[in-house]
Amino acid sequence: MEIKSISDIPGAAFYPLKSWAEQSPDNWNILIGIGFLLLMASIVLAYVFYKKMGNEDERTKNIYLKSSYFMLLTIILCDIVFPTEYMANIFFLFKYALAILACGIYLAIQYKRDFT
């Protein structure tokens, strides 16, 4: 795939993944399985640290808002980077898995910094 403009970079970066996934149904299932496992692990991480911090009060409200901010930034970044012409549903799965993972990582860092 030839890069002619900046908007072609995501396509060029993810075209080999598309080619690999379309080679066999097993490759496609591996890609979906990895995305689903990443999504489940991210949800568990974010939920665990959300519950460890406790109910929302003036101390934790700022942490929860900032974790939502990181989630939003990750979604916007993934919308810019991931191609929309092909495999949109797979990249949709990875976009939200990465967004929840960013939220969970921020919550884990803040928990370690503020609560331990």
Structure confidence at residue 30 as a pLDDT band (50, 70, 90):
very high
Residue 57's pLDDT band, with cuts at 50, 70 and 90, is: confident
pLDDT class of 96 with cuts at 50, 70, 90: very high
What is the model's pLDDT at position 115? 76
Per the prediction, the chain carries an average pLDDT of 88
Q: What is the CA radius of gyration of the chain?
A: 17
Residue 27 tokens, joined:
């490759």
* 2 has pLDDT over 70: no
Instruction: List, in sequence order, the alpha helices (H) in 22-87.
Output: 25-53, 60-81
Rounded to 5°, the CA angle 14-82-110 comes to 120
- Mark 82-100 as b/e (b = at least 16 C-beta within 10 Å): bbeeebeebbebbbbbbbb
For range 14-40, the mean pLDDT: 92
